[in-house]
Amino acid sequence: MFGRPKTIQDGLARTRQSFFGRIRQLLAGSTLTPEAWDELEELLIQADVGVDITTELVEDLRRQAEAGKLRTPADVDRALRERLIAMLQQGAPSVVDEPRLLTVILVVGVNGSGKTTSIGKMAYYYKQRGRKVILAAADTFRAAAIDQLKIWGERVGVDVIAHQPGADPGAVTYDAIRACQARGADMLIIDTAGRLHTKYNLMQELAKVRGVAAKQVHRAPHETLLVIDATTGQNGLAQARHFKDTVGVTGIVLAKLDGTAKGGIVFPIVRELGVGVRFVGTGEKLEDWAEFDPQLFVAGLFDQNGNE
Ligand SMILES: Nc1nc2c(ncn2[C@@H]2O[C@H](COP(=O)(O)OP(=O)(O)O)[C@@H](O)[C@H]2O)c(=O)[nH]1
Ligand SMILES: [Mg+2]
């Protein structure tokens, strides 16, 4: 394992080993007792799938089993996976790969959610796919935040446009767009601040960054990614609501999936936001980053090797 990039499968190890592995065992039996149905419900809730979705799922599956449409636990297993996959197939596909001169990706999320790290990984991911990427340090609140992005920029080998700490994030964005145009970059990824609990109005700041991007580049930002720390559980859901209401989120990055046994949180988050997950953070290294795929994700919840 050492040195190998961590896949979605690896990132889901803890979730699989706890709750979903147990669900798999439950559905590998020969019959489903009333106790087994109750346990299924408990396990889904413990995995952070949420009470609403869990109740909906289990009631529906149970009804179908009682009506004879699902005859064996294996049928229930299959139906459950299908439902879970369908739930993750939400929202419009990413427009990032559509041809245009400059694609602007705005990255938002609370402090510590994994924004800057995810931006480093994303820059690497797109650079490897032939994109010319520039990063904008529009989290100007702390010097350390700017330095952190610069370090990622050096590591990946992409330019970082930064001003002094305390500078106007809108001005950084403006300069970064100019730099993209001057240097022939076709992708700009903007790092932003995430302090929700100060008097300073973060949402106004994000709106301003958006406004600058929209004015300088046709239809920008083309993607607004909300980075959610998978380990924060139901808090992540509250954050999702907050950002949804104030900035237009078009996609989700689920960071730190490797750090949680409660990967089920992705289901209520996707439902709440009505947009798809684009990427998953699976560790702290550059390559610990995976494109999101609903089928692979659900397979990884249950099975070691995805498609057994
Ligand atoms: N294990 C793990 N740690 C991560 C992941 N993504 C970010 N982190 C860590 O989370 C912490 C906060 O990340 P950072 O990018 O600074 O968050 P920001 O404040 O939103 O920019 C850092 O210690 C990162 O190394 C991930 O996918 N897996
Ligand atoms: Mg940061």
> Which atom number of ligand 1 is nearest to the Cα of residue 117?
15
Ligand nearest to the CA of residue 139, numbered in listed order? 2
| Cα 22 to Cα 27: distance, rounded to the nearest angstrom | 9
pLDDT the model gives residue 198 = 58
Q: Which atom of ligand 1 is nearest to the CA of 112?
A: 19
The residue nearest atom 22 of ligand 1, judged by CA position, is: 114
CA 160/CA 151 separation, integer angstroms: 9
pLDDT of residue 252: 97
Band of pLDDT at residue 2, cut at 50, 70 and 90 = low
Residue type, 16: R
Phi first, then psi, for residue 258 (nearest 5°) are -65, -20
The answer for residues whose C-beta is within 8 angstroms of residue 14's C-beta and 6 or more apart is 258, 259, 260, 261, 263
What digits encode the pLDDT tens for the residues 172-228?
Answer: 999 999 999 999 999 999 999 998 755 458 889 999 999 999 999 999 999 999 999
Ramachandran angles phi, psi of 96, nearest 5°: -60, -35
Instruction: Give 27's contacts (C-beta < 8 A, 6+ positions apart).
Output: 40, 73, 74, 76, 77, 80
* Number of residues assigned to the chain: 308
235-287 tens-digit pLDDT:
899 889 889 888 889 999 999 999 999 999 999 999 999 999 999 999 999 99
Is pLDDT at 1 greater than 60 in this prediction? no
| 266, amino acid identity | V
Residues at CB less than 6 angstroms from ligand 1: 109, 111-117, 194, 255-256, 258-259, 281-284, 288
* pTM exceeds cut of 0.75: yes
Tokens of 11: 């990132």
% of the chain with per-residue pLDDT over 70 = 97
